[in-house]
Each structure stands twice: as structure tokens, then as C-alpha cells.
Amino acid sequence: MKNSLKIIIGLIHVLLAIAILQLLVQPVTAAPPDLPNNSCADCHRKLIFTSEEQRQFVDIRIKHLESGISCSIVCHEDKLNKSIASTYAMWSVSTHALFDVTCEKCHGGDPLAITKEDAHIGVSKIKIARANTPESCGKCHEPELDEFKNSEHFKKLESGEEGPAPACITCHQAHSVRVLTSSEIEDFCSNCHNRITGIDPAVPKKAEEALSSIKELQVEISKARGAIISAKASGKDVTTAEDELEAARAILKHIPSVWHRFNLTFFETEVTEGIEDARRAQNIMAEMPAASPPVKAPGFEVILLISCLLIAYFLKKR
């Protein structure tokens, strides 16, 4: 009896250790994306770095990305994007690789062809030209494109005037498709928005605050959710509060696309509205008088008691 208990406890420990080990090892040994029938990815994966300098750049870039530093327009981007090997390296660890957004979806060409010459037929430089990326990325990211078309950034890009304006890949990069976080935003936007260029230098600080406000919206939504769940458990009518919560959730859902209008006042109005919806849901729940206690499922305590007795009986019998 004692020994078998020891064995069971030992087994549990071993299983736990294996589970923890697996968690630790997985990110390191993660297999490259499994893409049958895609010669672009297959061949480009094998391309070697053409120079030691390029290899070093790629290493630096990957380290930057891993530690959350954005390699922006002022960094070594040009050199890197032009390095054939780095494009595969960046792409293979991106969200796009995870979702099967393979090379030919953006570059064209024939991913079933075996030779380089055949595969490259139809690979076009026009689609990936910076100023064309809103349209080509927008094929799959329509809500972002629709909002982006209302932005000063888009107008400037379209005008073809001299001077910098960000396209999709300026902020997301072509292959890593990183999403800047609110703590990276201030540094990043000030690449262009600063006193030297004269392009609205107040933007970076405001943008950081605007993006951070999303967290507040998330917090208020989860508070409202909690309030509704406990009100429901005590038998209150939660329909109106649920409507308010739904409205707040809808705003949270479309906020990443609204961001691309690059109208910070509009953005803040939207987030504030969401926060107010969520707070209204909380208030409705707080102000509602307690309903009569719900009818409890009868017999639960009895079942628990019987189970305990049964377990005790079996343990003793052994």
C-alpha cells in the first residue's frame, strides 16, 4: 500500500518534469514551417549568405527582433531587405509563415515549378514596390487598407511628392510583419515626426498614449465581464448590461484597423466610447437590487458526501 502510493507520487513527479521540460525546449527546437509543394520556400531556405557581412547583419537583426527592438527605417533595413537569405530567415519565424502566407502570395511566380527560372516567371517588382504595398497587403487586410486610405500618410504616398511617408512595410517590415507595441511607438514615430523634419513633432507622445489606452479598455471590459458573471449567478437580469458589454467588445475588435486612419483624435474618441460602454455595464450591475436567490440544484451536498464516504470506504478496504 505505502509502496504503491510512493510509486504513484513518483510517476506524477516524472510526468510533471517532462511537461515542464517540453515547455522549455519547444521554442528552441520548433521545426521550420512544413510547406509541401512550395518550391519558393524550399529553395530559398537553402540559399546561403553571400557575404559574412550579410550574415552578421541577419544575426543582429534577429537578436533585435527577439529582444523586441524594432529595426526601423534609420537602422540597417535597406541592406537587410536586399539580402536574399535574410528574407527567408525573417519570414520563416513570422505570423505569415504560420498562416501559410507564402512567398508567391506577394511576389507572384510559380511555387510548383522546380527550377529557379521557371519558378521566377511572373515574379514582379511592381507589386512589392513600397508605395504599392497598401494595395497589395490590402488584398488580405481590407479593414486596415480602408482606414489607411483616409490617412495623411496615404495621401502623402499617393501624391508622389518628395519626402518620407510610411507605407505598410515601413512599420511592419515586409517579411517579419512585426506589430509595434505601445512602448516602441514613440521612438519609432519620431524617426519622421521630429523638430528637424518639422512633421508634427507632437505625434509620437500622443500616439504612445493613444495605444496605451487600449489596455484601459481591456481592463474595463474584463471588469464588466466579471460583474455580469457574478450578477448572473445571483439571478439578476443582465440583458441591458450584456448589450453595453457587446458594444465595448465590438470597439475593441475594430480598434487595430481604426488605428490605421492615423487620426489620433478620432482614435481616442472611439476608445473612450468603448471604455464608457464597459463602465455603464458595470454600473447597471452595481445599481441593480439583488434578486431573490436562485434555486440551487438540490442534492449537490448529498452527492459530495456519498462520494467522500465511498472513497474512504475503498481506501480502508485496501
- Per CB under 6 A, which of residues 57..96 are in contact with ligand HEC? 81-82, 84, 87-88, 91, 95-96
121 binds ligand HEC (CB under 6 A): no
187 binds ligand HEC (CB under 6 A): no
156 binds ligand HEC (CB under 6 A): yes
**Residue of the chain from 61, 153, 236, 280 that contacts ligand HEC (CB under 6 A):** 153
Stretch that binds ligand HEC, among 102-110, 228-236, 243-251, 286-294 (CB under 6 A): 102-110
Please, what is the minimum distance in Å from the beta carbon of residue 56 to ligand HEC?
18
Q: Is 235 left (phi over 0), alpha (psi -120 to 50) or beta?
A: left
The C-alpha atoms of residue 285 and residue 225 are separated, in whole angstroms, by: 10
The C-alpha atoms of residue 148 and residue 139 are separated, in whole angstroms, by: 13
128 binds ligand HEC (CB under 6 A): yes
Please, what is the minimum distance in Å from the beta carbon of residue 42 to ligand HEC?
7
The C-alpha atoms of residue 9 and residue 52 are separated, in whole angstroms, by: 53
C-alpha cell at 196: 528637424
Of residues 266-305, which lie at the interface with ligand HEC (CB under 6 A)? Answer: none
Please, what is the minimum distance in Å from the beta carbon of residue 164 to ligand HEC?
4
142 binds ligand HEC (CB under 6 A): no
Closest-CA residue to 79 (of 44, 54, 51, 47):
54
C-alpha cell at 265: 483624435
Please, what is the minimum distance in Å from the beta carbon of residue 133 to ligand HEC?
5
C-alpha cell at 226: 466579471
The C-alpha atoms of residue 251 and residue 273 are separated, in whole angstroms, by: 8
**Residue of the chain from 231, 255, 271, 284 that contacts ligand HEC (CB under 6 A):** 255
Query: x/- string (CB under 6 A) for ligand HEC, residues 30-59?
Result: ---------xxx-xx--x------------
**Residue of the chain from 89, 211, 221, 228 that contacts ligand HEC (CB under 6 A):** 211
Q: Residues touching ligand HEC: how many (CB under 6 A)? A: 78
Count the neighbouring beta carbons within 10 Å of the beta carbon of residue 246: 12
150 binds ligand HEC (CB under 6 A): no
Closer by beta carbon to ligand HEC, 184 or else 243: 184
The C-alpha atoms of residue 213 and residue 194 are separated, in whole angstroms, by: 23
Closest-CA residue to 40 (of 93, 106, 126, 134):
106
103 binds ligand HEC (CB under 6 A): yes
Tell the burial category of 64 from Cβ atoms under 10 Å away from its Cβ (0-12, 13-18, 19+): middle
